[in-house]
Every structure is written in C-alpha cells, then in structure tokens.
Amino acid sequence: MKKLIKTILLCSAMFSIHSAYAQVAVVVGAKSDIGTLTSEQVSSIYLGKSDKFPNGSTALPLDQSSGSAIRGLFYDKVTGKSEAQVKAAWSRLVFSGKGTPPKEIGSSAEVKKLVTANPSTIGYIEKSAVDSSVKVVFSAD
Amino acid sequence: MKLGGGFDLRLGRIGAPFFMTSDFRNVGYTNLSVRTPFDVYGLVPVRSFDGGDLLYKTDLGETTLNGQLWLGKSGVRVSQNAQGDIDLSLSNIAGINLSAENGPLTVRFGTMKTRLGTNGSGTAGLNTLLGGLGHLGAMPGLESLATMGNDLNVNGKLATFSGLGAILDTGNWVVNTEYVKRKSETTYVSDANAWYATLGYRIETFTPYLSFSNRKLTSVTSYAPVAVPPGYPPVVQGTVPVLVAGVNGALKSTAESTSALGIRWDAGKNYDVKAEFQQIRVPAGSTGAFSDVPSGAYMVDTKVNVVSLVVDFVF
C-alpha cells in the first residue's frame, strides 16, 4: 500500500513537472498587428478551415517537425486532435485541391526567424523559447 | 484559381461532388471505415465531371460556411453485353452544395440535376427493344407496351440527386450519417433512397466502429405479363411476352442493407490498418450491389459476409 501511494505521489509529481514544462505559445512576429486569438481561431487556421486571421489578412501557418514533442502538444492542447486526425483532415483538403498543409519547420528558432521576417506567418513554440522577436497571441498550459 | 472575397474557381476534370465525402472517397486514410457505404455511394458510380465549379467560403462567427455551384457534363459505363458497352451520359449538370461547420459538427446538403442519354455499341439490344415496344405499342389494346417503352427510354430524361449529411467529431466520438435520394424520369435508372450511419469511438490510436446502411428502390423494377387481346396473329402473341421479358431484364432491383463492425488502428505516422466484418442482406428479387447474379436476381433473401483487412498510406 505504502509503495502504491509512493508511486502515485511520484507520478503526480512528474505530471506537474511535465505540465510546467509543457506549455505552448502561439506566436507571430513582434511587429505584427494581430492581437490575441482564441483557440478556435488558431485551430481553424491550423486545420485548414480558414486561411485568414480574424482581421482579414492572410494567415500562413508554420508547423514543427512531424513527431516532435512540441507538435504533438500543440495539436493536443489547442485543437484537441491527434496528429493522425489532423493528417486525415489535411488529406481531405489536399486530395480535393482545396488546400496545402502548413510548412514544416525544423526548430523553434527557425519558427521565430520566419514569423519575424513575414508578418503573415504564425507559428508555435515552447513557452520557454519566447523572446522579444515574437508576440504571443495564444498560449496553452 | 482564387477570385478573392472567399470565392474560388476551378475548371477542368473535377471530382463529382454528389456525396458528403465525394472529394476524398477514394483516399482510404481520410475515411473511418474500410470503404464508403456502398448502399449509398454505389447509387452514383460517376467519379468526376468535366466543367467547372465555383467555391465560396466564409466565416460567420464560429461557423464556417461552404458553398459550391457546379456545372458540366459526365459519363459512366453502366453495363456490358456481347455487343459492347452501355454508357450513360450526363449532360447539362447543374448542382449546388452547402455545408456549415461549427466546432465538432458539420452539416451538408447537396442537390443536382442532369439530362441523361445512352451511348455505346452495347445499346443496340436496348434500342431494338424500344423499337419493338413502340411498334407493337401502336396496336389497339397494346398501348401499355408503348408506355413501358417511353418510360424505359433514357435519352433526354431528367434525373436528380440530393443528399443531406452530418459529421460529428467530438475527439472521442465520431458519427457520420447521410441520407440520399435519386430520382429519374426513366425506369432504366431507378428511383432510390438510401442512408447510412457510422459510429466510432477513439481510444488512443484505436477506433472501433459500427456501420449500418440501407438502400430502398421506389420505382418499378418489374412488370407483370401483358395480356394480348384475342384476334392478333400468333407472331404478335409470341412477341409480346418476349418484349416484356426484355424490359424486365433491363430493370433491376439493387435493394440491400448492410451492417458492419470494424476497427481502425492509426498504427504509424503515415498509415492506418483497418479490419472490418460486413454482412450484406439482399432481399429476394434483388441483385443487390452484385454483378453477374445467376438468373438475374437472388430468388430468396440472401446474406453475404465480407471480411476486409486493409492498410492505407498517405504521404
């Protein structure tokens, strides 16, 4: 019994460490005029339902590498969908010629560079990677 | 081609949007089950059309609205005989599709109309039959043959197809359902209505699902023998039953219903594995979705079991 309680405590401790680390920030360039977004607005850009920001300007979403921790976390926390579901959703759009999935970027540093360079782009990075070159428009814990 | 203001124009050979999932029905990875329910999707074997469509997309609060207007023509081989193929042509297609998506729920309505025609050397027998019906149908007391011929004739007849569908995807639960109605002015293309409902529940990478579907025919699929009034020579007496049999041979009931139980496993990054057991029930007098049924149709209620194991890849 003691052993079980210990295990549970250890597990919950690990969970809290995990969630403290596991924070996603959805970012645009620091000079972008996009304000804060809701999770629905971010989801519809990343699931191909919308190719525009709420203010009407074009939105170019950037993805992180397939299978990376941050990507899994982002889709889970923000869209509530698994990577397989997201892939199926994009396949529907791709095979009917209605859209192309977000470009895959290798690292959070690359994402920051790209959103800074192009005001139309939007990306997601670990909260710990946020710096003055980007503006957080949505964050999920 | 983007036209701005939410409009998009496409020209050329485009996937024919008769159904809710027409655009990607052949991409196994995008569908929950092994194949789209044939009781419903088999009603229109037309995969693409030549023409253009205008797409419109707009956001209304949290709801995304999609509209599509499509115009064009198409054709499909519907059967084959010793003389060759019978092709059904669809001209002057005009259709409209509307869908609304809000969070986990998508609702879709579509309707279209077209003029039908037949082509191909396989139509020789059909045309001979129509000629015979017209010829004998002009004789007093045999007018019902003329009506039969006019109803069977395909050329220039109007056909319509409409469907209402919904998808609910809550994360764990996935529900797909669609109801469709096919109507035509020719008995050669039967009137039918069909529906399906697929229910799945995601547990990590596994999604077990259940699916039910049904197709019902609502137009005539066979005629009773026509009585020949007395006084006609034996050649007429003998020809009339042959003509009626010919018409009955051209008309087919394809009514059936299907139950399926399956599981989808999103095993890797770019592929899934699915296993499914289906039971198709074909009522007596129908061929169901099967071709080359001996003696033209099943004589008794028949059950057919299908086991499928598939792997779908996507890049």
pLDDT, one tens digit per residue, over A101-121 is: 999 998 999 999 999 999 999
Confidence of residue B206 (pLDDT cuts 50, 70, 90): very high
- Using one digit for the tens of pLDDT, what is the confidence trace for B178-196? 999 999 999 999 999 999 9
Give the residue from B175, B192, B183, B174 showing the smallest Cα distance to B40: B192
Asked if B254 contacts B290 with a C-beta cutoff of 8 angstroms, the reply is no
**Closest residue in A to B31 (Cα–Cα):** A88
**Closest residue in A to B5 (Cα–Cα):** A56
Q: Count how many residues are written for chain A.
A: 141
Q: Kindly state the percentage of chain B with pLDDT values over 70.
A: 100
Using the predicted structure, report yes or no on whether residue A6 has a pLDDT greater than 80: no
Residue A84 and residue B59: Cβ atoms within 8 Å? no
- Using one digit for the tens of pLDDT, what is the confidence trace for B238-276? 999 999 999 998 898 999 999 999 999 998 888 999 999
> What phi and psi values does residue B131 have, to the nearest 5 degrees?
-60, -45
CA dihedral for B236, B242, B248, B250, sign (positive or negative): negative
ipTM above 0.90, yes or no: no
Contacts of A82 in chain B (CB under 8 A): 202, 205, 266
**Closest residue in A to B24 (Cα–Cα):** A92
- Give chain B's domain count: 1
Q: Which CATH architecture has domain A23-140?
A: 3-Layer(aba) Sandwich (3.40)
What residue ranges do the domains of chain A occupy? 23-140
Give the residue from B273, B260, B258 showing the smallest Cα distance to B28: B273
Show the CA angle centred on residue A131, arms to residues A126 and A136, nearest 5°: 65
Q: Is A87 on the interface with B (CB under 8 A)?
A: yes
Three-state DSSP class for residue B289: coil
Asked if A133 contacts A127 with a C-beta cutoff of 8 angstroms, the reply is no
Three-state DSSP class for residue B106: strand
Residue A40 and residue B103: Cβ atoms within 8 Å? yes
> What phi and psi values does residue B227 have, to the nearest 5 degrees?
-75, 130
DSSP code per residue over B3-51: EETTEEEEEEEEE---STTGGGTT-GGGSSSSS--HHHHTT----EEEE
- Give the alpha-carbon dihedral of B240, B241, B242, B243, to 10 degrees: 50
For B105, the domain range is 2-313
**H or E element: which one contains A21?**
helix A2-21
Residue A83 and residue B269: Cβ atoms within 8 Å? yes
Residue A80 and residue B103: Cβ atoms within 8 Å? no
> Which residue in the set A44, A67, A96 is minimally distant from B15, CB to CB?
A96
CATH assignment at residue B121: 2.40.160
> Which residue in the set A44, A49, A92 is minimally distant from B23, CB to CB?
A92
